[in-house]
Amino acid sequence: MSQSTSHKFYLVEETEYGVTPASAQFIEVPITGTTLGLTKNTSQSNTIRSDRQISDFRDGTQQVGGDIKAELQWQAIDMLLAASVCGQWEADTLKSGTKRRSFSILRHFTTLSAADKPYQLYRGIELNNINIQLGTEGVTTATFSAVGKSVEALSELPAGATLQATAAIPAVDTFNGQVTEGGENLAIATELGFTLENGIEPRFVIGSSETIRPSIGLSNLTGTLGVYFENHALLEKFFNGEQSNISFSMTDPQGNQYLVKVPNLKYTGGQPDVEGTGAIIVSLPFQGLLSQTDGTNLIIERKAVA
């Protein structure tokens, strides 16, 4: 019997879409869960028969998809962050851009024997969405939604492949963090989350059940800011259609820090709903926009402890 605690998750960047590199050096990624798997379209015969039976059923196009969930640990998922925003780390700064990456992902179920095929190898994996959530309790979490080409079960590692373990690193949290809105400290924030969608969609062709390199759409950044209702300053930005910006910092127990900036946004909603006897919280959904100054809609900076 295989258990979650015996599951390991590795990846390597592909140089050619859907092809695992020769002598691949797979890097372990610490995750909290995954739903990565294969789905298929199917078709069946509609021939009318006197016995009322379905006489033919066939597999059709197929694709890999699912979520990869992780805690935001210092540099442990930086490769995923870059891929999910189509960016490149430069001098510890990452911006949403146009650079596409695909990965081969290896899942190892360590309690299975070679005869039971303990490995699953996924190819052509691209990250379509990233969602990051911050709250007043717990560590910061990230969810990556993947789109891929194929998967197969293996009894052993791909030829020449090696596995590189990742050291245990504490995740960042918001207890020592800060949220700024419009350039000013926002000390009444209760939650903050955002999703960046890349619009990646499979492309199927005659003669193959697998996708060729998928298409990609616009970089669409949306999110929600929750605050205690103490004045109309933020609501009036929504009422008046004003542009603003948000940034938030997250620090791990060792002092390493990530700073995430949404340099240009517009609020798309907001109202002080009342229910029960507790504090009133205003939920403000927003749409991220291109910052002409920064040339992007999202910036992530990392700063190691001195």
Residue pLDDT, tens place only, 41-60: 899 999 999 999 999 898 88
pLDDT bucket at 88, cuts 50 / 70 / 90: very high
* Residues 112-149 as b or e (16 or more Cβ within 10 Å = b): beeeeebbbbbbbbbbbbbbbbbbeeebbbbbbbbbbb
Residues of the domain holding 207: 4-39+60-303
Residue with tokens 């510890």: 92
Asked whether residue 196 is assigned to any structural domain, the reply reads yes
Q: What is the mean pLDDT of the chain?
A: 94
- Residues 26-58 as b/e (b if ≥16 CB within 10 A, e otherwise) read bbbbbbeebebeeeeeeeeeeeeeeeeeeeeee
Does 2 have pLDDT greater than 80? no
Domain count, the chain: 1
Q: Residue 175 — very low, low, confident or very high, per pLDDT cuts 50/70/90?
A: confident
Quick check: is 53 in a domain? no
Round to whole Å and give the CA distance between 258 and 166: 19
The string of pLDDT tens digits covering residues 207-258 is 999 999 999 999 999 999 999 999 999 999 999 999 999 999 999 999 999 9
Read off the pLDDT band of 137 (50, 70, 90): confident
Any domain includes 19: yes
Predicted local confidence at residue 201, as pLDDT: 95
Contacts of 71 (CB under 8 A, 6+ apart): 30, 32, 139, 140, 141, 142, 171
d(CA 281, CA 284): 10
Question: Cα–Cα distance between 121 and 24 in angstroms, integer?
Answer: 12
Classify residue 75: in a domain, yes or no.
Answer: yes
Residue 55 belongs to a domain:
no
Neighbours of 162 (CB within 10 A): 12
* Cβ-proximal residues to 193 (8 Å cutoff; 6+ apart), any chain: 131, 132, 133, 134, 223, 224
- 49 assigned to some structural domain: no
Q: Is residue 45 part of a domain?
A: no
Question: Residue 11 domain-assigned?
Answer: yes
